[in-house]
Amino acid sequence: MNPFSESVHLDTDRIRMHILQRFFTAGQAPVSGGELAGELAMSRTAVWKHIKALEDIGFGFEAAPRRGYRLTQIPNLVMEPLLRQYLNPERALGRTVFWYPSVSSTNAVANQLAKSKEVPHGTVITAVEQDGGRGRQGKTWNSPAGGLWMSVVLKRAFPLVRAAELTLMASVAIARAVEDVAGVELDIKWPNDLLYGGKKVCGILAELRAGGENVEYAVLGIGLNTNVTSAQIPEELQPIATSLLIVTDKETVQAQLAAAILNEFETLYDSLLTHGKGFALVADEWQKRCVTLGNHVKIRTPQGVIEGVAHRVDGGGVLYLMNESGDETAIHSGDVLF
Ligand code: BTN
């Protein structure tokens, strides 16, 4: 859906999706321009123009004389037909995708779209780059081309008191997916930053709309430094941020990683909805990956900076700091300052 720009007419998107789908189905075989023209009720020249537009965003085609075109190159993007190849077909997350070359913030777009009844549960918004990427606590988020910037619209109601579990479950889902797809083991910093060698690789921003005691819809924003080069990380972030590309020296297939995250997360989210078991299901794994527990930490909270030993996390993701006298303080939200 709407894969080319925020303003292009939806018909154009559907046409290009149809063309791509035909090439994916054909594999190495050529697809006839005449057949495409017939299916789309347009001239061969019009089909050729759409193929040119696809080339502009990184797809490669070669003309097979008298037989049509062959798909020769697929860009490393998170567009719907690319994502679909890796998604669990019975699942809802990622079935509808809005892809943008550039957008202010996928979370901002997702919040807008979530209000519409026509936008289904599980819709994913993704962009090549963001020029107004949002981080937690009002911070900005560096989002150059090469990273995985995506937001998921979650529309199944669940109790507001369980909301903190969303990002905690997401952090485990992302860590598992990154391990499977990129072979990198990430640490978790409470509540849900993912780190490699002490440097941040991924951040999560959940935004909610509540109606009474329930979450009406949630937007789960994931920012993952996948194929971000060192030169794309601003100087002030160099000491605290890294990327999968820097760590592995290999490009990650973005659609494969995005699908793995969605598949992993959906299982946990569904369990929260159906059995009321969300974070509790992965709390042990979360604790094993967590680099905050057991350390003396300072945490910036809305109530000021609190210090102590990060002692334990409960089933709802609340962190307990212990002071020298052995008293515990519950921390519901904050930023760990090492
Ligand atoms: C953090 O501060 O750690 C959270 C960062 C979340 C960034 C992601 S990128 C995709 C989505 N769109 C946004 O504007 N923010 C989130």
pLDDT over 90 (residue 211): no
Compute the mean pLDDT over every residue in the chain, rounded to the nearest whole number.
92
Distance 110 CA to ligand 1 centre (A): 12
> Tell me: the pLDDT tens digits for 271-320?
998 888 889 889 999 999 999 999 999 999 888 899 999 999 988 888 99
Q: Once rounded to an integer, what is the mean pLDDT over residues 130-145? A: 95
Q: Which atom of ligand 1 is nearest to the CA of 203?
A: 3
pLDDT-derived band at 97, boundaries 50, 70, 90: very high
Report which protein residue has its CA nearest ligand 1's atom 11: 221
Nearest to 319 by CA among 338, 219, 298, 135: 298
Please write down the long-range contacts of 207-216, taking CB distance under 8 Å and 24 or more positions apart.
207/107, 207/111, 208/160, 208/163, 209/114, 210/160, 210/163, 213/159, 213/160, 213/161, 214/157, 214/158, 214/159, 214/160, 215/154, 215/157, 215/158, 215/159, 215/160, 215/162, 215/163, 216/157
**pLDDT attached to residue 2:** 40
pLDDT-derived band at 338, boundaries 50, 70, 90: low
**pLDDT attached to residue 10:** 47
Which one-letter DSSP state was computed for residue 4? S
Tokens 């924003």 belong to residue: 221
Comparing 274 with 205, the larger pLDDT belongs to 205
Does ligand 1 lie within 6 Å of residue 203's CB atom?
Answer: yes
Q: Which atom of ligand 1 is nearest to the CA of 132?
A: 14
pTM given for the model: 0.88
Does ligand 1 lie within 6 Å of residue 205's CB atom?
Answer: yes
> Tell me: the pLDDT tens digits for 47-93?
999 999 999 888 999 998 889 999 999 999 998 889 998 999 899 99
Distance 171 CA to ligand 1 centre (A): 13
